[in-house]
Amino acid sequence: MPHSVFDLFKIGVGPSSSHTMGPMSAACAFTEQLREQGRLDGTDRVLAELYGSLALTGKGHGSDRAVLLGLAGKRPDGICPDEADRIVTGIRASHRIMLGGTHEIAFDEPNDLLFHQRERLSFHSNGMRFTAFNGAGAELLSGIWYSIGGGAIVAESDISGNAPPEGLVADVPYPFHSGEQLLAVADQAGLSIADLALRNELARIPEAEVRERLAAIRRTMSACIDRGMGQHGILPGGLHVRRRAPEVHRKLVERQERALSDPLTVIDWVNLWALAVNEENAAGGRVVTAPTNGAAGIVPAVLRYYERFVAGANDEGADRFLLTAAAIGSLFKENASISGAEVGCQGEVGVACSMAAAGLTAALGGSNGQIENAAEIGMEHNLGLTCDPVGGLVQVPCIERNAVGAIKAIEASRLALLGDGTHRVSLDQVIETMRKTGADMSAKYKETALGGLAVNVVEC
C-alpha cells in the first residue's frame, strides 16, 4: 500500500522531524493512553527515556523540548513556535508540567528526562520509553515508541501486531510497491502518476479536502520561505551560525535590473529559497516535512522555481508536483528509509532531491517514464551521503546541503526531460542500492554526531 501524500508532507515545527516532531507526537500519544485508560489523574510522575541517535543528538535537535511539549499535550501540527517557547520556559521555571494539558504534576527534568547515549533499543536508533508512576512509586503504564523518520512514529506494541503502519492508505484502487509496478499500474489505467496518487487519496477523503490540504501545504511552504528571507540574527544552539537568507535576498533584489545579463541568477534564487526554509527550521520555525525537516528546503525551493520561473505555472501544476513527489517518496519509505538515523542523509536530502526532481518533471508535463528517470537521477547522485551534523544541530552542513540538493533536483529533471524516459539504471535499483548502502554505513555517520564533519569541525 502506498503512503499518503499527507504522510510525506506534514506541517510541523523544526528543527527535526525525527528528533523533534516524532518525540513530541510520541509523548503526546503516551498521555492520551493514560487518559484513555483512566490513569492520567492518578499519575504523580512521568519518566521519559531517549535512546540511540535520539540520545546522542537529541538536545541539539530539540528532543528535550519536544518531549516536554508532548507531555503537555501538544502536537507538532497544532503549536506555534512562540507558544512552544512559553510552555517550555514555564515548565523549566516551575519544575511542574500540565500532563496532557489538564493534570499538573512535578517534573524534575534532570531526573525525569534521561538520555541513554550508549544504549539502543532493538527496532530503530530513534527509540524512546515513557513510564508513569503513582504517588506510591508504583508503575501505572509504560510504553516504547520509535521515531522512524519524517515525523512518523510507531509503538513497539504495533510492530508485530496487526496495526497498519502510520501513513499507509488502505484499500486503494491503484496499489504499488515498486517503481516498476507504479509505472505498470499507471500505464494500464492510462493515468499520470499524479492522477494515480490523487485517486488513491480519494479512497479515504473527498477531493475538495485533498485540494485544500495540498493548498495548506503549499501555503505553509511559501510562508516559511518568506519568513526565512526576513529574519536576521544568529541561529540557536551555540554554533553561532548567522542567518544568510536576508542578506542574499537583499543582494538579489538589488541585482534584479541586470539579472538578465547572468542567466545563472535563477540558481541564486533557488539557493536563497532553500536556505530560507532551513534557517527557519534550524530556529524551530513552522515547516513542512518534505519528507523530513532536515531536508525540508528542497521541495519548497524547487516548487517555487516552478511557480516563479516557468511560464504557465498554475495551482494544478503545483498539485501535480506534490502528488507525484509523494508517490516517489512513498517508494523510498516502503522499500528503504527516510531516516537519517537509519541510512544517513541519503535518506533525507537524497530522497527529497529525488521527490523534487520527479515533482518538477510532472509539473513540466513530463511522461511517467521521464518522471521515474528524474527520480532515479536525483537519488543516484546522493548515494552514500552521510548524516554528520556538527554539534548535533540541524545547521552545518544541513542548511547548505538543501540548497545544493534543490539545484541537483532541477538538473535531474532537465536531464530526464531531454530523454524519452528510457535509461539503464532503474529507480528500484537505486532505492535498493540506497538501502544496502545505509545498512553498510558505519553508525557514526547516521545522525549520531560521532563522525564526519561533526568531529572534524571545531564547534566554537
The pLDDT value recorded for residue 459 is 57
pLDDT 10s digits, 316-356: 999 999 999 999 999 999 999 999 999 999 999 999 999 99
pLDDT 10s digits, 382-403: 999 999 999 999 999 999 999 9
- DSSP state string for 161-207: SSPPPTTB--S-SS--SSHHHHHHHHHHHT--HHHHHHHHHTTTS-H
Report the share of the chain in percent with pLDDT over 70. 96
What confidence category does residue 411 fall into, taking pLDDT thresholds of 50, 70 and 90? very high
Model pTM score: 0.91
What confidence category does residue 263 fall into, taking pLDDT thresholds of 50, 70 and 90? confident
Alpha carbons 335 and 324: distance in angstroms, whole number: 17
Query: Across-strand partners of 168?
Result: 3
Q: What is the mean pLDDT of residues 173-180?
A: 98
Q: What dotted CATH number matches 179-445?
A: 1.10.4100
pLDDT at 65 over 90: yes
Cβ atoms of 304 and 223 within 8 Å: the answer is: no
Cβ atoms of 71 and 99 within 8 Å: the answer is: yes
Contacts of 231 (CB under 8 A, 6+ apart): 243, 245, 246, 279, 280, 283
| Assigned superfamily of 19-147 | D-3-phosphoglycerate dehydrogenase; domain 3 (3.30.1330.90)
pLDDT at 457 over 90: no
pLDDT 10s digits, 356-366: 999 999 999 99
CA 418 vs CA 232, 307, 326, 366, 371: distances in Å:
40, 21, 23, 10, 12
Residue 73, helix vs strand vs coil: coil
What confidence category does residue 170 fall into, taking pLDDT thresholds of 50, 70 and 90? low
In the chain, which residues fall in CATH 1.10.4100?
Answer: 179-445
Contacts of 268 (CB under 8 A, 6+ apart): 248, 252
The pLDDT value recorded for residue 398 is 97
Angle between helix 63-71 and 81-94 (nearest 10) = 80
Nearest CA among 335, 316, 321, 245 for reference residue 283: 245
Alpha carbons 233 and 407: distance in angstroms, whole number: 26
Alpha carbons 113 and 106: distance in angstroms, whole number: 12
Cβ atoms of 15 and 284 within 8 Å: the answer is: yes
pLDDT 10s digits, 105-164: 999 999 999 999 999 998 999 999 999 999 999 999 999 999 998 999 999 988 865 544
The backbone torsions φ and ψ at residue 452, rounded to the nearest 5 degrees and listed phi first, read: 65, -140
Alpha carbons 240 and 283: distance in angstroms, whole number: 12
In the chain, which residues fall in CATH 3.30.1330.90?
Answer: 19-147
